[in-house]
Structure formats: structure tokens, C-alpha cells
Amino acid sequence: MAQRKPIVAGNWKMNGSVELVSQVCDEVKKYSNSNVDVIIFPPALLLSEVLSENVEAGTQTISEFDSGAFTGEIHAQLAKQLGAKYTLVGHSERRSIFKESDQQVADKFAKAQEFGLIPILCVGETESEREAGKTEQVVAKQIKAVISKLGIAALNDSVIAYEPVWAIGTGKTASPEQAQAVHKFIRDMLIAYDEQVANALRILYGGSVNEKNSELLFAQADIDGGLIGGASLKKDAFASICKSAVGNV
């Protein structure tokens, strides 16, 4: 991981407050430096609040469209103009609750890059898919949808987050060895396309990451940080996770 700058990203989902922004940012901004990127993905209405604290931020989703009658959608260009640097695309909750297909996720990925946002592509299998031995098949299909649309070079300006769906918000966490195995599979798969792109790509782990397991997870060879859910809403826990990423640089 020494060659790839780790990321610790907090996905707040539909949680948080103006007060929490101030509390969390005060704790974590000291860790965001030349060695680690700390990013917060707050609810869209709190984006400017996070940016005003001099902490990097992104949106939890963007629209694949440029403009039009799409009530409630987030325009990639406006997010960029407000100061967002990143956006999540393809989070499992977007795929399952809002029925986003692999193709739609690829379209959002493309739109993010078109307007200068760095997409963090979320991939991962459900519990039933893991039990059926389909983890690699599912993850490969989700990533190849983007490669098919944009080519392998598009991954130069992106991040991948492996989030096993069965571990998100459940308290279950893939063991460091389980997570590393999937991360290595992703990197090896991409090496077949372009070794340089694959070796430079940052791949994050997400799924009930907390201050107790982050150090061991981040110590794995192909895990370049984490996409943190519930623990990113707790200032001390999130700061501890950031500190463990610094310690593994």
C-alpha cells in the first residue's frame, strides 16, 4: 500500500447534521495530509458545510443526465462547481432500493468523469451470491460494465470500493483475509487489461469497518483504505480509523 495513497471515506447516507459536520471535521482534518485522503460523503444538503471546514467531500450519487425534469436528482456539474471532488456510484443501496442497473451505474461513472468528479465505483455481492460461490462473477460483471463503456483507461481517474452487501450495516465484517482475497481478484483481473492502471488503482474495503478492525484490514496488500458507514458518524471512531490508515502508510 506504500505506493498507493490510502483513502478513508465516510458515507453518512441520510444521516448527520450541521453540528455533526463541525464535530467530525474538527477531529479528522488533522489526518488528511500528503499521506492519506480523508473524504466525507454527507447528505447533499450538507455538502457546502463540509467543504467550508476544509475537508474533502463528495456526493453520494449523481444523475446520469445533464439537465431536465428529474426532480431531486444531483447534477454532476453543479456538484463540481460547489467544490465536490468525488462521487459515489453504484452503492449497493442505490442498486437494490433504487434499482440502478450495471449500465446505469456505468452511465453515472461516465457523467462524473465528464465533469471532473472522481467516481468511487462500489461493487459487491449479496449473502446468497457469496454462498453460491458467485462473489468473483458478480464483482467482475459490475466492474466490466464500466470498462465496456469507457475502456480500462477510465479507471485511472477513479477508485473502486469493494463492499460485500452482507457486511454493510449488519455488524458482519469480511475477515482481513476474505477482503484481501477479493481485492486481489479485482486487481489481478484488471492487470489482464492494463498492469499499470491496475497497480495504481486504489481499492477500498467497506462493510462494518470500525476502529477495532480497520488496522488489520488496512494492513492487507491490496486494501487501500476504507469506505466507512456508521463509524464515520462518530467523531472519535472515525478519527481512530483515519489514524490507522496513517499508520499503515
Burial (CB < 10 A; 0-12, 13-18, 19+), residue 53, is middle
> Is 230 a known ligand-binding residue?
yes
What's phi and psi for 68, nearest 5 deg?
Answer: 125, -165
Task: Please indicate if the annotation marks 72 as binding a ligand.
Answer: no
Q: What is the pLDDT at residue 197?
A: 97
> Which of 231, 176, 196, 224 shows the shortest CA–CA distance to 37?
224
pLDDT of residue 30: 86
What are 59's strand-pairing partners?
Answer: 87
Report the catalytic residues: 91, 163
Confidence at residue 186, expressed as pLDDT on a 0 to 100 scale: 98
Please give the angle made by the CA atoms of 248, 142 and 4, to the nearest 5 degrees.
Answer: 20
Instruction: Please state the pTM of the whole predicted model.
Output: 0.96
199 labeled binding residue? no
What does the CA dihedral 219, 223, 227, 230 come to, rounded to 10 degrees?
Answer: -40
The distance from CA 28 to its chain's CA centroid, rounded to whole angstroms, is 17
The domains found in the chain, sorted by start residue, are 7-63+72-247 (3.20.20.70)
pLDDT value of residue 169: 78
The answer to whether residues 205 and 11 touch, using CB atoms and an 8 Å cutoff, is no
Instruction: Dig out the grid coordinates for 141 from the structure.
Output: 460483471
Measured at the alpha carbon of residue 169, what is the angle toward residues 139 and 147, in degrees to the nearest 5? 20
Predicted local confidence at residue 249, as pLDDT: 62
The SS3 assignment for 214 reads helix
**pLDDT per residue of the chain (249 residues) written in tens, 0 to 9:** 347 999 999 999 999 999 999 999 999 988 887 789 999 999 999 999 999 999 999 999 999 999 999 999 999 999 999 999 999 999 999 999 999 999 999 999 999 999 999 999 999 999 999 999 999 999 999 999 999 999 999 999 999 999 999 888 787 878 999 999 999 999 999 999 999 999 999 999 998 899 999 999 999 999 999 999 999 999 999 999 999 998 766
Q: Residue 140's pLDDT is what?
A: 98
Is 58 marked within a binding site? no
